[in-house]
Copies of this chain bind each other. A is one copy, B any other.
C-alpha cells in the first residue's frame, strides 16, 4: 500500500539516569506533546549517529547509547506516510541540559511512575515500558557501580592500596560529573580503611579542572577519570577505562585501507587499548600509526577537546578517531586538514566521515554577529589547567572596550549578567566551539576574535588548542 520512498525513518533515544532516590527518564515537550528526543536520518547516517545527533540537538546532552536495546515503533504520519522510529537506550555523559529553542518547549526528568501518564502517544508508552523492563534487567553498572562483567566502575581497592603504599591517611577526592554519584561509596571504602577524606563538590569535567583548593586542604588529592594536564604534586590520577572489542574494527578497515597511512586516536577511556587496536587494524590491512601525545595528553594516540597533538604528530593521510560523538573527530579534522573518520566503539562498526563545514558555517555566523559588538569580555579561567593569562591579556589589548574577566564556571547566566556584547574564550576551547547554542551572544575563540578585528583572514581559521 505504501511505496518504499514514502516510508520515513527516525531514530532517537530513551535517556535515563540514576539518582539517589531511584532512576529517572528524560522527556521533551514538542509543541504540546511529551515524548523522547528523535529525528530523521540524514543522508548516509547510521541509526546511532542519528540518535546521538538528535539527542544533542534537542537536549544539549552528550549520551552513551546502549545499542543492545533497539526498539522499533511504526505509525502513520499526518501526511499519510508510514514512519518507523528506532529507539535506543542512553545515559548522559556530558553536555549541558537545555531544550533546543526552535523545536522544544521544555525538557524534564520524571520517574517511571510519573513519566508514563505524561507521555502523549501510545507507541511511546510501549517504548517506555520496554525500557523500564530492560533497565531493571541490565542496571548493574549504574545502580551497583559495577560493569556488565561485574568489575566496579571505580577501582576502589586499587585506590586504597596505592594510598596505603604512600602512607596517606587523609586525602581529598574529586570525581568528574559523570562518576560523581560514586563519591559516597568511595568515602565509605576509604573510611573503612582508616583513610579520612574531604570531597571536592564543584563541577569537574577534566584534569584541567583540578580542585587544588581541596588538595591543599587535605595534603593529597585522588582525582578520578583523567590523566594529568598540568604538573602537580601529591595527586593520584585514576583514569577511567572502558574496554572495547576489536570486532568493531572490521568494517572500518575496508574503508581505511585505501589510505597510505591512518592516524589512530581516542580519548582516555580507551587509550590503554590503542596499541592492540593498531595491531588489529594492521592485521586487517590498514597502515595504522599512533602519534605521540603532548604534555596534556601523555598517552600515545590520546586526544582531548583542547589538544590534537597526537593526530598532528602522526602526520598521516587520514585519521581514525575512536569514541562516541563527533566533536573530537571534527577537532582532529580541523587540526590536521585531512580526511577524518569517527568510529563509535559501541556501535555497529559503521565509519562516519566527519566534515567540519557545518561547524565552520555556524562559527562564521557568530563572527559576523560579533562584528557589531561594541564591548568584548575576555574570559580568563581560574581553573588550574585552563588559565591562559598571557593570551587573555594580549587579546584584551587588541580592542578599546575589551577587558579581562577572571571566571570559574562559564554559564549563560554569568555572560548575560556581565553585560558585554560579545565574549572571547581563553578557557576550555570546547565551550566556544561546542556549546555556543546555550550562550546569549557570540563566544569567540582567540583566532575568531582576530578575524572579527580584521587582523586575521578567514582563510587562516584554526581550531583553538591549549598546547
- Interface residues, chain A, with chain B CB atoms under 8 Å away: 19-21, 29, 32, 105-106, 172, 177, 180-184, 187-188, 191, 197-203, 211, 213-214, 217, 375, 377, 379-380, 382, 401, 403-410, 413-414, 416-421, 440-441
A–B complex contacts, Cβ < 8 Å, 13 sampled: A20-B440, A106-B106, A177-B417, A183-B420, A184-B419, A188-B375, A188-B401, A191-B403, A197-B403, A198-B403, A198-B404, A217-B406, A408-B408
Are B379 and A180 interface neighbours, CB within 8 A? no
Q: Report yes or no: A181 in contact with B404, Cβ–Cβ below 8 A.
A: no
Q: Are A403 and B184 in contact (CB-based, < 8 A)?
A: yes
- A183 and B418 in contact, given A403-B199, A406-B198, A409-B409 (Cβ under 8 angstroms): yes
Contact A181 B417 (CB under 8 A): yes
Contact B106 A201 (CB under 8 A): no
CB-defined contacts of A377 to chain B, threshold 8 Å: 184, 199, 201
A410 to B202, CA, bound (A): 8
Assembly CA distance A401 to B440 (angstroms): 42
Knowing A32-B32, A382-B213, the reply to whether A201 touches B406 (Cβ < 8 A) is: yes
Count of identical protomers in the assembly:
2
With both chains docked as a complex, state the minimum distance between the C-beta of A189 and any C-beta of chain B, in angstroms. 12
Contact A419-B183, Cβ < 8 Å, known A211-B406, A213-B406: yes
Please name all residues of chain B whose beta carbon is closer than 8 Å to the beta carbon of A380 when the two chains form the complex: 198
Whether the Cβ atoms of B418 and A21 lie closer than 8 Å is no
**Given pairs A202-B382, A202-B409, 11 additional interface contacts (CB within 8 A):** A19-B416, A20-B421, A21-B421, A105-B106, A106-B106, A182-B419, A183-B420, A184-B375, A198-B406, A200-B406, A201-B407
CB distance from A26 to the nearest CB of B (A): 13
Q: Hey, which chain B residues are within 8 Å of A172, CB to CB?
A: 406
B181 touches A407 (CB 8 A): no
A162 to chain B, nearest CB (A): 20
Within the complex, what minimum Cβ distance (angstroms) separates A442 from chain B? Answer: 11
Q: Which of A19, A184, A203, A408 has the most chain B CB atoms closer than 10 A to its own CB?
A: A184
The 10 closest A-B pairs by CB, nearest first: A201-B407, A181-B419, A201-B405, A180-B417, A199-B405, A187-B403, A184-B375, A214-B406, A106-B106, A198-B404
Minimal Cβ-Cβ distance residue in B for A440: B19
